[in-house]
Structure 1
Amino acid sequence: MTVIFPSPIFGPVHSRRLGVSLGINLLPADGKVCSFDCIYCECGYNAEHRAKTPLPTREEVRKALEEKLKDMQINGPAPDVLTFAGNGEPTAHPKFPEIIEDTLQLRDTYFPEAKVSVLSNSTFITRPAVFDALNKVDNNILKLDTVDEGYIRLVDRPNGSYSVRRMIDKMKAYQGNCIIQTMFLKGSYQGKDVDNTSDTYVLPWLEAIKEIAPRQVMIYTIDRETPDHDLEKATPQELDRIVDLIKQSGISATASY
């Protein structure tokens, strides 16, 4: 079953990685807008979920967020985190930098202990305004599933031009103020093996992680139904092995099974 989130606010939900999370969805409520078209995306394929309604405006997001935070102040629960996620890539919103400013201000007013997190596929960090906005949030969570260009084109399926090297260089420019998030999975897609848990993929990726030097790495595997049905979860043992390799490099790491 595909997951399409309400917009612009959903939850709170209990996140495997972040705790009590209030979701902020900058994409339409009736479809998906993303610069990737990942074969494992819980929101389904882009072509199957074309949005017919516009993006929420900056003003709509701010108003809905403030109303929800006021309600949570009175009725609970207190959020651990305000998380930009939802039906696609949040940084694709043309007013993303301004919405981050609004969100930080509202967070400071209503729940100053809460963190602001952004789950991003990293494709727009080459835009200076997006790069700077992500540098201001508590948890700047950037996707890097592999450093193999062919694998990214097969599994993550970027819509526009994409360069792994350029992404790594921009991630390095955060000087540690980022968290790298990586999906590990197995199975096949269009007859091709998509297992990225072996050293063939893990060791070059680990070298890139060392180069980026993030403050943390979050690795995870499939949790919900995927649009392609020949995909399989990585095992806890496989994820634990990768976590150990990251920790041996002196970088904090967690796995979600």
Structure 2
Amino acid sequence: MGKEQTVLFHSTVFGPIHSRRLGVSLGINLMPDDGKVCSFDCLYCEAGYNAQGTGSTGLPPRETVAQSLENRLNAMRLAGDPLDVITFSGNGEPTLHPEFPEIIEDTLRLRDKYYPLAKVSVLTNATRIFDPATAEALKRVDNNILKLDSAVEDTMRLIDRPASKDFTVERVVESLCQFGGTGIIQTMLLRGEHCGRRIDNTTQEEIDALVDAYRRIRPKEVMIYSIDRSTPEENLVKVGKEELDRIASVIREAGIKVQGYE
């Protein structure tokens, strides 16, 4: 079924690293530093499958996140280090943290104090956007990057494997419309096989469905990309730059701003 793959991040604040999408990025991991907590169990997740467990350290409290972030920002500023963005990512879905809205508030305050020109980004799978407090927090950040890997229900469930049966393409697309003009939609394009089932969200049917969804949502921008690191499901295939460019052209012709990342 796949290879043994475990969590990537072993601290609450990590980096900075160079992100192919965001630049010099200081990461914030709101999940355990020795386990994974996510409402999806994506076949391509670089942090591995949820089956590895949630670990023993638990979620970092709001105060710990703020102090760790302030310490790192202060040290970076004293050293004269550049910073483009503070990015919420890590070992699972950041919006699952019960203090997520308050942590966003702290982060914006610290960003303004130490690196006022830096952006704050959240990479989210959009499973918590139905919660008003979470949605309002996401509206406050500079880059609210929301996942939509397929607008075809069966494909979405095969690739992303949401924990909730109530999470559907129709429901999430409808709720994503609240971020029209401000949200960034991120779509992972890939092919392969999982448990004998073929995976391909680059077909004409899939791209047409995505374009229809993008039109409904009216995002600020769409990011399409493909596999960059090893994945827990071994039978996945990277979509190359030439094909990403072709798909980007189709999306662009529909009047939607798009960037492609190999």
TM-score category of the 2 structures, normalised to the smaller one: over 0.9
Which residue of 2 is the match for residue 61 of structure 1?
65
Amino acid in the other structure paired with 1:119: L
Amino acid at match of 2:132: P
Percent pairwise identity: 54
CA deviation vs aligned residue, 1:112-140 (integer Å, no higher than 9, x gap): 00000000000000000000000000000
Alignment partner, residue 162 of structure 1: 167
Q: Which residue of 2 aligns with 1:121?
A: 125
Distance 2:29 2:77 in 1: 21
Deviations 1:140-175 (A, max 9, x none): 000000111111221100011212111111111122
CA RMSD of aligned residues (A): 1.0
- TM-score of the aligned structures, taking structure 2 as reference length: 0.96
1:77 Cα offset (Å): 1.9
The equivalent of 2:200 in structure 1 is: 195
Q: CA deviation at 1:2?
A: 4.2
1:74-153 superposed matches below 5 A: 74-153=78-157
Q: Which residue of 2 aligns with 1:11?
A: 15
Asked whether the 8 Å contact 1:147–1:164 carries over to 2, the reply is yes
Deviations 1:170-192 (A, max 9, x none): 11112211000000001111111
Q: Which amino acid aligns with 1:164?
A: V
Structure 2's unaligned 5+ residue stretches are: none
- Report deviation, 1:91: 0.3
C-alpha distance after superposition, 1:42-83 (max 9, x if no partner): 000001243221100000000000000000101142210000
Contact 1:179 1:218 in 2 (8 A): yes
Worse-superposed segment, 57-66 or 158-167: 158-167
Q: Which residue of 1 aligns with 2:209?
A: 204
**Residues 84 and 119 of structure 2 are in contact (CA less than 8 Å); yes or no, is this contact kept in structure 1?**
yes
Query: Quick one: distance in 1 between partners of 2:28 and 2:123?
Result: 11
1:210 and 1:8 mapped to 2: Cα distance?
A: 36
Where 1:125 maps in the other structure, the secondary structure is coil
Secondary structure of 2:179 counterpart: coil
The one-letter amino acid of 2:208's match is L
Could you list the structure 1 runs, at least 4 aligned residues long, displaced by more than 3 angstroms after superposition. none
Q: Does 1:222 align with 2:227?
A: yes
The DSSP-based 3-state class of the residue aligned with 2:200 is: coil
Q: Deviations over 1:178-236 (max 9, x none)?
A: 00000000111111111111112111111100111101000110111100111110121
Which amino acid in structure 2 is aligned with residue 256 of structure 1?
Answer: Y
The yes-or-no answer on 1:251 pairing with 2:256 is yes
How far 1:23 sits from its partner (Å)?
A: 0.1
Q: Secondary structure at the match of 1:173?
A: helix
